[in-house]
Amino acid sequence: MDDAATRSRRGRGGGGAARRAERTTMRIEAARFITRNIPDIDMLSAEALDVIEHNAETVLEEIGVVFAEQPEALRRWKEAGADVQGDRVHIPRGLARKLCATAPSQFTQHARNPERNVDIGGRNLVFAPVYGPPFVRDAAGGRRYATMADFRNFVKLGYMSTYVHHSGGTLCEPTDIAVNKRHLDMLEAHMTLSDKPFMGSVTEPSRAADSVEMAKLLFGADFVDANTVMTSLININSPLTFDAVMMGALEEYARNNQAAIVSPFIVGGAMAPVSVAGTLAQVLAEVMTGVAYSQLIRPGAPVIFGCFVTSIDMNSGAPTFGTPEASQISYGAGQLARRMGLPYRSGGGFTGSKLPDAQAAYETANTLNMALYAGVNFMLHACGWLEGGLVSSYEKFVMDADQLGLYHKLAAGIDMSEEAQAMDAIREVGPGGHYLGCAHTQANFKTAFWRTELFDYKPFETWEEEGARDTQALASDRVAKLLARYEAPPLDEGIRDSLRDYVERRQAEMPDQFG
Amino acid sequence: MDDAATRSRRGRGGGGAARRAERTTMRIEAARFITRNIPDIDMLSAEALDVIEHNAETVLEEIGVVFAEQPEALRRWKEAGADVQGDRVHIPRGLARKLCATAPSQFTQHARNPERNVDIGGRNLVFAPVYGPPFVRDAAGGRRYATMADFRNFVKLGYMSTYVHHSGGTLCEPTDIAVNKRHLDMLEAHMTLSDKPFMGSVTEPSRAADSVEMAKLLFGADFVDANTVMTSLININSPLTFDAVMMGALEEYARNNQAAIVSPFIVGGAMAPVSVAGTLAQVLAEVMTGVAYSQLIRPGAPVIFGCFVTSIDMNSGAPTFGTPEASQISYGAGQLARRMGLPYRSGGGFTGSKLPDAQAAYETANTLNMALYAGVNFMLHACGWLEGGLVSSYEKFVMDADQLGLYHKLAAGIDMSEEAQAMDAIREVGPGGHYLGCAHTQANFKTAFWRTELFDYKPFETWEEEGARDTQALASDRVAKLLARYEAPPLDEGIRDSLRDYVERRQAEMPDQFG
């Protein structure tokens, strides 16, 4: 019974509980993660997938992968049956795939509020916000370096967004905090300002260890030992290179049964071939290696087949988003992940645009639509991403978060119940009539159509009188309103204090490092 | 040999040909229509489709459809075996579907430049611009009533847009020309300012007849008799009502073997039930009736299964676009069309936004992405649609037209050739290398990635120095550039004169009617 929910409930029974309950009467609506009741798109035939899988095995056996400066990892690979030459690991055909077989096809990531738990894998789709930008932008303040205050704002926005299931990780880089200390503040923010699931730090194995320690304070050590409470992002240095920092973090998480996304980071034509089929073979080789390695650390550790991929503008070298080639790779990788029985991470509200304008929205919608049909199970960067991931945008965060709602409806599939067939309504209205007042419409209109919380549906004249505002202006308003209405979800004060103590202690132990 | 292409070639051999050839050295790139090499999404099971088809037959038999003020149509229906009571036609189960069977599953619409011919049906997808708005908007001039000058500009933009396959019809309503005369100017503009295929007038049977007459001047009477040279839009007055004007135009076109889109016009919850399954039954009943009627006029006449559908904001009554329910209906209708073996029309760059902003782009991209996988064969409104179809937007026209390019790439499917598998490239580059300079990249980079002609891919600093422009500003520039560069495609001067004469004569015969 030593889990967060129980303790939280005990906490609410204590001293400040009544006051707190009153303050939190504003009910935060949170949609359950999506469970798809619709088909995936299979862009590749079974024969084409066989070819790619064969090519990936050839890459692993002939070319191999590099685990630089990791004697222990090389030892593990050798013991598992790989041919290790220097820091290059040649993995015999079939070995990596065999090792991957112990990874679960689906797992639950627990949140401190059990209603916010997410099931990752299977037919499910979980949305998490943007990850990693050093800059933020809003209409009032323009583009600037992100700070911890910005970070906290984004945690709050994610908490208040109905269709954002996950609090995410590095929502922006808090550049006003030392590099070696900011992970502590970020984790504390996720843990105290939201009750949704979150990600751990990966920038140093010691920071992954801090993440686990703080999770134990929040959830209880026994609970963390038995359950997955973090999903963290392990990038692969494509092509075919696994660096010591990321692998160290992966080891820390796998050892503790915490989930990791094993994710090639690919700008097509730079870190992978310019062709879709070639990129897919490399992606599969890389993911199989990372996932297999996680299972060498702890068989059964939860891992996600990741695929971050963009195309490149061959004129300027800029990464490009919402493009057909990136979509094709993501569709193909989804099929490969399903054949391995692994949860799949791809997509996001990607754009190269500098502003939350039409370009941003076209590119984002192209990627979000793809992700729904590519069978994505975990979507990082689902909202707030701008300028190729350099910027976390306040306005785009709420714009994307609003759009995420419609995928819930689309994924549910088409209701074929008697009520939905509406034959009585068609009879009642008849030729030339209208349905606005009929019994079926009256009974169903409240849930019949998804509705934006943001976009403009007003008559032209009203819209013009109110200032002829564009989407960015409407979004600025919504950001301000959400942040003004924000109230923290209840949390046991003992836990809150223990987290604060941990952060203070660890930060005091280290001198500041910047850059 | 009396077809437009031959005559056009003869024309180029004549007097002003050398001069004209010199003027037209600017080569207009025009992509072939899309042929999908990717799967459709089947949102509905075969059992669900059976239910909807059964319900549609029930609607036709029990409730029936209205053909108001059309004694001749009622006579035709009676003769075909329907039970006609007053102006209500009850169609026995199975009859409409049987009549539809003579409609072709695919047909070619000829353009005066044979390279611009489009094949409508099968795995193909043809893009045509926005249709019908009384207003236009651009950044410089704001929103205003459309004129014939605007109309000509949109014909020119369509002609110059690589990925717009079709010149369309009423690109905007030229409100400065009398209602009963403007169809003549519009047709003349399509025929002389573009060499892409176009649509005929439907607002009066006599205007449909004018369209056929002018097409005969352009293509030759024999050619028009033997070939389809127009695809026109016949809207159904949903629910279940077929008005005399639209049916009169349909008769005119079917009689002349010219194509018609038979299209319910549905704002869900107003002209059809609020539910997807109910709307689909009504849509199918309406389309089967219209298509069956076209086959009563001339068996084998080309027709398209149309479905224009939007959802409604139940708070304000405004139609809403890019929504999940509209997508679900379009997916389902696509499956129903395929089961009937009919070409399918749906989708478009739909939005309710007043501006070409992020809302416009999200909503548009949602609909365009849907259309690709819903199996749409003919897409009206593929570019330029704004404000729920009240406005033709100059900027959005080029924004959407640019996006249409990526669907060509996506629809082509994934290249699995040896070259695309790129194993030599992966070997050459190896772990930790990069692909920018490798032989495979050098050989393939020019065609590897779709590239925008419009969006911003520049480094942040360059973009800022150049004025930090948003997509609308970039689009304004592109519109100005395209219109400045426009040159008319060559056309035999005899044909041009005969079209002018026809328009002048017909306009002189009638007093002006407005409104």
pLDDT at A27: 66
Distance, in Å, from the CA atom of A336 to the CA atom of A94, rounded to the nearest integer, reads 15
Determine contact, residues B367/B322, Cβ cutoff 8 Å: yes
Residue of B163, B309, B426, B461 best to disrupt the A interface, most CBs of A under 10 A: B426
Nearest CA-CA distance, residue B95 and chain A, Å: 19
Tell me which chain B residues have a C-beta less than 8 angstroms from the C-beta of A406: 322-324, 366
Which residues pair with residue A308 across a beta bridge?
A265
Distance, in Å, from the CA atom of B234 to the CA atom of B380, rounded to the nearest integer, reads 12
Tens-digit pLDDT profile for residues A17-61: 444 444 444 567 899 999 999 999 999 999 999 999 999 999 999
pLDDT at A26: 54
Residue of A275, A368, A469 best to disrupt the B interface, most CBs of B under 10 A: A275
Tell me which chain B residues have a C-beta less than 8 angstroms from the C-beta of A44: 414, 416
Residue B16 has pLDDT above 80, yes or no: no
Distance, in Å, from the CA atom of B67 to the CA atom of B393, rounded to the nearest integer, reads 36
pLDDT band at A514 (very low <50, low <70, confident <90, very high): confident
Nearest CA-CA distance, residue A187 and chain B, Å: 31
Tell me which chain A residues have a C-beta less than 8 angstroms from the C-beta of B143: 460
Residue B207 has pLDDT above 50, yes or no: yes
Tell me which chain B residues have a C-beta less than 8 angstroms from the C-beta of A268: 448-449
Strand B142-145: give its sheet, edge to edge.
B142-145, B135-138, B391-393, B385-386
% of chain A surpassing 90 pLDDT: 93
Asked if residue A39 has a cis previous peptide bond (ω within 30° of 0), the answer is: no
Tens-digit pLDDT profile for residues A465-511: 999 999 999 999 999 999 999 999 999 999 999 999 999 999 999 99
Distance, in Å, from the CA atom of A175 to the CA atom of A193, rounded to the nearest integer, reads 20
Nearest CA-CA distance, residue B180 and chain A, Å: 26
Tell me which chain B residues have a C-beta less than 8 angstroms from the C-beta of A365: 361-362, 364-366, 369
Distances from the Cα of B329 to the Cα of A37, A220, B333, B506, angstroms: 16, 48, 6, 42
Which residues pair with residue A266 across a beta bridge?
A309
Which residues pair with residue B144 across a beta bridge?
B136
Distance, in Å, from the CA atom of A59 to the CA atom of A280, rounded to the nearest integer, reads 12
Tens-digit pLDDT profile for residues B389-416: 999 999 999 999 999 999 999 999 999 9
Q: Which helix (H) or strand (E) holds A422?
A: none
| DSSP states along A304-359 | EEE-EEEEE-TTT--EE-S-HHHHHHHHHHHHHHHHHT--EE---S----SSSSHH
- Cα-based torsion angle of the residue sequence B498, B500, B506, B509 in order, rounded to the nearest 10 degrees: -110
Distance, in Å, from the CA atom of B255 to the CA atom of B297, rounded to the nearest integer, reads 6
Nearest CA-CA distance, residue A458 and chain B, Å: 7
Biggest CA-to-CA distance, chain A: 79
pLDDT at B315: 85
- Distance from chain centroid for Cα A202: 15
pLDDT at B8: 39
Q: Among partner residues B277, B423, B456, which is closest to A422 by beta-carbon distance?
A: B277
Residue of A414, A456, A471, A472 best to disrupt the B interface, most CBs of B under 10 A: A414
pLDDT band at B7 (very low <50, low <70, confident <90, very high): very low
pLDDT at A10: 36
Tell me which chain B residues have a C-beta less than 8 angstroms from the C-beta of A413: 43
- Cβ neighbourhood burial of B110 (10 Å; 0-12, 13-18, 19+): buried
Residue of A89, A435, A440, A478 best to disrupt the B interface, most CBs of B under 10 A: A435
Which candidate, B183, B178, B177, B244, places its Cα nearest to that of B213?
B183
Question: In degrees rounded to 5, what are phi and psi of residue B86?
Answer: 65, -130
Distance, in Å, from the CA atom of A58 to the CA atom of A78, rounded to the nearest integer, reads 18
Tell me which chain B residues have a C-beta less than 8 angstroms from the C-beta of A458: 316, 318
Residues 6+ apart with CB under 8 A from A497: none
Give ipTM to 2 decimals.
0.94
Mean pLDDT value across residues B103-111: 98
Tens-digit pLDDT profile for residues B435-489: 999 999 999 999 999 999 999 999 999 999 999 999 999 999 999 999 999 999 9
Determine contact, residues A481/B356, Cβ cutoff 8 Å: no
Mean pLDDT value across residues A256-269: 96
Q: What spatial distance separates the first Cα and last Cα of chain B, rounded to whole Å?
A: 43
Contact B420 A448 (CB under 8 A): no
Pairing of strands B391-393, A259-267: unpaired
Distance, in Å, from the CA atom of B108 to the CA atom of B114, rounded to the nearest integer, reads 11
Determine contact, residues A346/A333, Cβ cutoff 8 Å: yes
Contact B314 A425 (CB under 8 A): no
Distances from the Cα of B231 to the Cα of B211, B255, B379, angstroms: 11, 13, 12
Contact B355 A468 (CB under 8 A): yes
Q: Would you tell me the crossing angle of helices B324-340 and B276-297 to the nearest 10 degrees?
A: 40
Residue B26 has pLDDT above 80, yes or no: no
Biggest CA-to-CA distance, chain B: 79
